Amino acid sequence: MLFIKASQAMKIVTKDGKRAEIVLAKLQHSLLGPYSKVQNIRQMATRSVEEMRRTQRANGPATILGIGTATPSNYILQAEYPEYYFRITRSEHMTQLKQKFKRICKSSTIKKRHFYLNEANLKENPNLCEYMAPSLDTRREMIAKEVPRLGMEAAVKAIQEWGQPKSKITHIVFCTIAGMELPGFDYQLINQLGLDPSVKRVMLYQHGCFGGSTVLRIAKDLAENNKGARVLVVCSEITVSIFRGPSHTHMDSLVVQSLFGDGAAAVIVGSDPETSIERPLFELVSAAETILPPSPDHEGCSFAGGVGEDGLTVDLPRNVPLSISNNIEKCLEEAFTPLGITDWNSIFWIAHPGGPAILDHIDSKLGLKEERLRATRKVLSEYGNIISSTVLFILDEMRNKSIEEGKVTTGEGLAWGVLFGFGPGLTVETLVLHSLPI
């Protein structure tokens, strides 16, 4: 329509070329002028948004600035656990199953585990000691008190090591498989710590053993995309939801009773640390997640669980260690090819110790030196599998041992490292870490 009007004007004034030019110029100005102004406004707005996004983002990678851990004071030596377990569950008549459980506990490589559940509260709640007895309400009441309490203890320690006012915390990420409440444990932690009500929250339930790596991945994204952000990450796990008496028909449950323990861990994550008042420990360089294909002899998920009136039950197929070891090198290659790293003994290792068989398969598949999984095996030995908290306990163990032995970096003297989370699905989370000078 604009071009028709312009051409008609040209025809009208074809005998006077100069007049035609003037008319055409006026038409262009009157018709295109408003459009040009709109375009200019849009360009200015786009530039403003882009500038705003640049100023909102951090310059450097997310960094761990403090670590804290906590466990219940009650603990049981693994060598004594079979006698305790079969006595407290009134199952001593299952003599053959008890002998089998002793062998399972001995092969676990675990020395001790911490528990909220003790002889006193189990005697008060005998339904927890039966196999598959309705007990969800009892379990929920215990979880609602102990999960935030243990998480609070770890969080306070992490904040103390960080050394900054808690008013600087901008985000919270809380993870547990133990149970759920409304509002969540993240909400409770904000109130317990006395944080500003504007602190942004993320609550993760039922991620299981890969949850510790998931919270670090989320914290990395939050810190790097919100300039000045300081993220409090908390994993709090107790075995109240999975404790039950033995059964001849469910051997997976017996394995579960031999592996898992209670504990909470917290870290502070932030980018662009103020090195005069903050001490960076590890940089979170990259993060990836993948679901492994099921093995040919197992339909659907290779590792699953569910909550019922009897608590949380877990299915632990024997193929899990093999599935992980068969796929772990591909995960490593995808993560470290951009860095030109192909020697898996040249990096430090933090691998979720779902059990000793998983670690043994990884060792065998990759030909790792004994010291590469030292920190991982140490935490498994001292605490058992503490679900999402475990990898954060290993981070703490590694940096402490590195300081104790006079290493040059927090990662056992090495520059680059990997943190693996393995859990339901079968899900694998892979984080590339960069250690920092001690």
- Considering the domain boundaries, does residue 120 fall inside one? yes
The answer to whether 271 and 223 are in contact (CB under 8 A) is yes
- Considering the domain boundaries, does residue 20 fall inside one? yes
Residues 194 and 157 in one domain: yes
- Pick from 13, 36, 56: which residue ends a domain? 56
- Pick from 56, 76, 91: which residue ends a domain? 56
Q: Which two tokens stand for residue 125?
A: 């709640």
Residue 373: per-residue pLDDT: 98
In this model, does residue 41 exceed pLDDT 80?
no
Give residue 353's pLDDT band: very low, low, confident or very high (50, 70, 90).
very high
Residues 130 and 27 in one domain: no
Residue 331 bears catalytic tag? no
- Considering the domain boundaries, does residue 165 fall inside one? yes
Residues 217 and 158 in one domain: yes
Find the mean pLDDT for residues 322-347.
97
The CATH number linked to 156 is: 3.40.47.10
- Considering the domain boundaries, does residue 277 fall inside one? no
- The answer to pTM > 0.85 is yes
Residues 77 and 7 in one domain: no
Q: What is the mean pLDDT of the chain?
A: 91
Residues 82 and 194 in one domain: yes
Contacts of 426 (CB under 8 A, 6+ apart): 291, 292, 294, 301, 302, 303, 320, 323, 324
- Considering the domain boundaries, does residue 52 fall inside one? yes
Q: Kindly report the backbone phi and psi dihedral angles of residue 289, in degrees, each rounded to the nearest multiple of 5, phi listed first.
A: -140, 145
370-414: pLDDT as tens digits: 999 999 999 999 999 999 999 999 999 999 999 999 999 999 999
Residue 2: per-residue pLDDT: 42
Q: How many Cα atoms are found within 13 Å in the side-chain-facing hemisphere of 62?
A: 28
Residues 89 and 222 in one domain: yes
Residues 104 and 231 in one domain: yes
Task: State whether the Cα torsion 44-46-52-54 is positive or negative.
Answer: negative
Give residue 317's pLDDT band: very low, low, confident or very high (50, 70, 90).
confident
**How big is the chain by its Cα radius of gyration, in Å?**
29
Residue 52: per-residue pLDDT: 73
- Considering the domain boundaries, does residue 276 fall inside one? no
In Å, how far from its chain's centre is CA 5? Answer: 65
Catalytic residue from among 209, 235, 301, 331: 209
270-296: pLDDT as tens digits: 999 999 999 999 999 999 999 998 766
Residues 221 and 112 in one domain: yes
99-113: pLDDT as tens digits: 999 999 999 999 999
What end-to-end distance do the CA atoms of the chain give, in Å? Answer: 72
Residues 353 and 412 in one domain: yes
Residues 192 and 211 in one domain: yes
Domain that holds residue 352: 282-435
- Pick from 271, 294, 329: which residue ends a domain? 271
Residue entry with tokens 């599998």: 385
Give residue 150's pLDDT band: very low, low, confident or very high (50, 70, 90).
very high
In this model, does residue 314 exceed pLDDT 90?
no
Residues 211 and 225 in one domain: yes
- Considering the domain boundaries, does residue 264 fall inside one? yes
Residues 250 and 326 in one domain: no
Give residue 6's pLDDT band: very low, low, confident or very high (50, 70, 90).
very low
More confident residue, 12 or 374: 374
Give me the number of domains the chain comprises: 3
